[in-house]
Amino acid sequence: MIDLNLIWFILIAVLIIGYAVLDGFDLGVGIIHLFTKDEKEKRININAIGPVWDGNEVWLITAGGALFAAFPMVYATVFSSFYIALMLLLTALIMRAVSFEFRGKVESKSYKNIWDSAFGYGSLFISLLLCVAYGNILKGIPIDSNGIFRGSFIGLLNPYALLVGLTGVALFVMHGAVYMTAKTEGLQQERMIKWANGAWIVFISLYVITTLATFFYAKYLFDGITSNPLFWIFFLTLLISIALLPVQLKSGKYFRSFLISSLIVVSVIGLSAVSLFPYLTPSSIDLNYSLTAYNASSSQYTLKTMLIIALIGMPLVIAYTVYVYRIFKGKVEITEESY
């Protein structure tokens, strides 16, 4: 039966998926940027994502705001549990953001290299931190019956969370490389195809290992999962998308490849969301201490009011996103005004 708690669980999942699809590729481009040597190719990397990266991050901010309003106990527990990680994440976000502007305003090669490193390592750090945090959510974090975090920052860097982190980084690199195949030409495009195919293999390998590891670290995620039709929809979409991606890349259909790569991201997060429900913050101490969509939500009146606001606001965000991408579609052209 659909209720307001379920609707808000789905809406937050949609916001996280929207962020992963949109910011995932520009984080991937940032990681690839670390290995780019040619100055013109570096500028193409930055200008390929320059007009859209800040709009992409709106989805992350919106997801955080929605979590705060709909599930305030979850927001408080997660943000206090991951406090140090979030401060590091914020530092990386700032470091990456300023590199866009400052790189284009210096002539010195040394300074350009510094901002290139800030852009690349910032992208890598953000990807890893977000995915490690997600791995901890899947595994469960040590919260007691009062929702108080009983762990440490070092404890969050456990093998399972790090494995999820590396899997996420591989996924974003693949997604970013596929995006760049649609934005580049010539030798750079050929290199992006190789990056996409290489990252595709690494992602599949890590995803299989992560799934096997989940049986040991978070077995509860599999409880009754096969009886949920959404599981089969996401699972089959994932399998088909993974099989189609290299075929589309080989045939030179790069925009279609990007859509398929986006479906892979949607399916991966969709599968985990279906497995998690109704848990939002599972407890590794005792699953009964977990914060769920039902014991950690705002009042029904708040959820209803927010839903009305969301139904007005989300179409505007989606329309703005579509408009920006239509304006900046096509191959990247470097001009004097470019970054």
Amino acid letter at 301?
Y
**What is the pTM for the complete model shown?**
0.94
Residue 265 belongs to what H/E stretch? Answer: helix 254-276
Q: For position 334, what pLDDT does the model report?
A: 75
- CA nearest neighbour of 242 among 207, 280, 214, 195: 207
Which regions of the chain are under pLDDT 50? none
Q: Is the dihedral of CA 6, 11, 16, 21 positive or negative?
A: positive
Distance from C-alpha of 24 to C-alpha of 177, rounded to nearest angstrom = 11
Secondary structure class of 152 (helix, strand, coil): coil
Using alpha carbons, list the distances in angstroms from residue 181 to 37, 175, 288, 329: 18, 10, 47, 13
Distance from C-alpha of 296 to C-alpha of 260, rounded to nearest angstrom = 35
Q: CA dihedral defined by 18, 287, 230, 265, rounded to 10 degrees?
A: 30
- 144-173: pLDDT as tens digits: 988 888 988 899 999 999 999 999 999 999
Q: For position 335, what pLDDT does the model report?
A: 72
Q: For position 333, what pLDDT does the model report?
A: 77
Amino acid letter at 278?
P
